[in-house]
């Protein structure tokens, strides 16, 4: 009972503060830091410093030592002025999101923030509350990168990013919580070691014809070592017969052999794993300049190749509805 009450209170408080923040710092693609959206409070060290100053002043008055009192008061004035300096450091900057974070699930997703001002804020840090792997660092040219760790594939609304600085002496923390109204997109993590869940359109036809067809449309560019999982139709049998090992023929241009990938299930794999296997193969195929088409759920991606196709495919995979829907 107690716990649920506490949790209910916390939830209520969270909703209230979110509503308050939404009014205070509305979501927008770029944010100009002003008095209205910057918050400032002493850090833990700032409070400790203040307490130490009180102790120092008490020591000074107990020894009737004006020098200690002067030192304490000087540091107190410094403490007060750091409040202004810390705010000044942040104030007046314009922060905007450079690109939508997009990437693979198990790798850190990079979020790039652009900061524009005539003077750079010092020691700026960015983090997202309750988000794992917050590693903020400043880059050159006023850009701040934030690497996010994403566990689950799909489209997620980016929470508020807190930008903060404790710049002079670490006594105060001046921060804002920017809402760039942006979604991040996480592709499923690739899963290797499974066969390609594909149907080669050409499988039913004559392999030789397909090969000659492909040679007509794309240029032969040489041989390379065979890696498991590559199409057998591209194997250079002559060279194999001559004892030079398994090699594949590589072609440049637009290979005509189309692979049709789909999210039909492998035996023994669940839906998410199937998507991961697909993600692996999309990368493989794109690397080999192989053209492919993809069907995920009801959505269809037309045939194509290259990085553009890969990205489109991965996006399709990321946005696939989960299996139980």
* Cβ closest to another protein, residue 172 vs residue 187: 172
Name which of 9 and 137 has its Cβ closer to another protein.
137
Q: Is 30 in the site for another protein (CB under 8 A)?
A: no
- Residues 38-57: x where in contact with another protein by CB under 8 A, - otherwise, as a string: -------x--xx--x---xx
**Which residues have a Cβ under 8 Å from the Cβ of 168 and sit 6 or more positions away?**
82, 85, 86, 89
**Pairing of β 109-116 and β 143-148:** antiparallel
Give the DSSP H or E segment for 96. Answer: strand 94-97
**Segment lying near another protein (by CB under 8 A), choices 76-84, 99-107, 142-150, 194-202:** 76-84
Q: Which is nearer to another protein, 92 or 304 (CB)?
A: 92
CA dist 95 and 122 (Å) reads: 14
C-alpha 94/C-alpha 144 separation (Å) is: 12
Nearest approach, Cβ of 174 to another protein (angstroms)? 12
The answer to the question of residue 83 lying near another protein (CB under 8 A) is no
DSSP state of 141: T
Binding mask 129-168 for another protein (x = CB under 8 A): -------xx----------------------------xxx
- Compare residues 60 and 154 and give the one whose CB is closer to another protein: 60
Q: How far is the CB of 176 from another protein (least distance, A)?
A: 18
Q: How far is the CB of 182 from another protein (least distance, A)?
A: 24
66 binds another protein (CB under 8 A): yes
Asked if 188 touches another protein (CB under 8 A), the answer is no
With binding defined as CB under 8 A, does residue 72 bind another protein?
Answer: yes
Instruction: At 270, list the tokens.
Output: 């669940």
Pair 258, 301: CB distance under 8 Å: no
* 143-148 β-sheet, strand order: 30-32, 94-97, 109-116, 143-148, 135-138
CB of 71 to another protein, least distance (A): 6
Q: Which listed residue (83, 85, 191, 235) binds another protein by CB under 8 A?
A: 85
Residue 232 is given by DSSP the state G
Q: Which is nearer to another protein, 154 or 168 (CB)?
A: 168
Residue 67, C-beta contacts closer than 8 angstroms, at least 6 positions apart: 60
Report in angstroms how near the CB of residue 175 gets to another protein at its nearest.
14
Best CA proximity match to 101, nearest among 140, 157, 46: 157
Taking alpha carbons only, the member of 288, 292, 296 closest to residue 259 is: 292
**Of 12-20, 71-79, 197-205, 303-311: span binding another protein (CB under 8 A):** 71-79
Residue-by-residue DSSP string for 204-228: GS-HHHHHHHHHHHSEEEEEEE--T
Interhelix angle 66-90/44-62, nearest 10 degrees: 160
288 to 317: interface string for another protein, x by CB under 8 A: ------------------------------
d(CA 32, CA 94): 4
**Which token pair is 283?**
């990368």
**Does residue 78 bind another protein (CB under 8 A)?**
yes
Where along the sequence are the contacts to another protein (CB under 8 A)?
45, 48-49, 52, 56-78, 80-81, 84-85, 122-123, 125, 136-137, 166-170
């Amino acid at each position: 009972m107690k716990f649920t009450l506490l949790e209910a209170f916390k939830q209520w408080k969270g909703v209230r503060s979110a509503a308050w923040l939404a009014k205070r710092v509305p979501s927008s693609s770029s944010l100009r830091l002003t008095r209205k959206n910057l918050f400032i409070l002493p850090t833990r060290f700032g409070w400790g410093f203040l307490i130490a100053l009180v102790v120092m002043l008490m020591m000074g008055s107990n020894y009737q030592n004006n020098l200690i009192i002067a030192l304490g008061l000087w540091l107190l004035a410094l403490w007060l002025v750091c409040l202004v300096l810390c705010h000044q450091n942040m104030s007046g900057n314009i922060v905007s999101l450079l690109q939508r974070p997009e990437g693979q699930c198990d790798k850190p997703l990079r979020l790039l923030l652009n900061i524009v001002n005539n003077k750079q804020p010092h020691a700026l840090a960015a983090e997202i509350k309750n988000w794992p792997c917050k590693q903020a660092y400043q880059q050159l040219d006023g850009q701040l990168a934030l690497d996010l760790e994403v566990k689950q594939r799909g489209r997620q609304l980016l929470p508020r990013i807190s930008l903060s600085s404790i710049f002079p002496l670490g006594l105060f923390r001046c921060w804002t919580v920017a809402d760039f109204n942006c979604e991040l997109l996480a592709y499923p993590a690739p899963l290797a070691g499974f066969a390609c869940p594909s149907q080669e359109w050409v499988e039913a036809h004559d392999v030789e014809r397909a090969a000659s067809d492909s040679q007509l449309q794309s240029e032969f560019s040489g041989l390379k070592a065979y890696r498991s999982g590559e199409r057998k139709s591209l194997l250079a049998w002559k060279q194999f017969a001559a004892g030079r090992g398994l090699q594949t023929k590589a072609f440049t241009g637009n290979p005509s052999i189309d692979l049709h990938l789909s999210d039909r299930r492998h035996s023994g794999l669940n839906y998410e794993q199937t998507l991961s296997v697909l993600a692996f193969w999309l990368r493989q195929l794109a690397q080999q300049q192989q053209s492919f088409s993809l069907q995920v759920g009801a959505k269809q991606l037309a045939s194509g190749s290259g990085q553009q196709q890969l990205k489109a495919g991965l996006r399709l995979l990321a946005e696939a509805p989960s299996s139980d829907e």
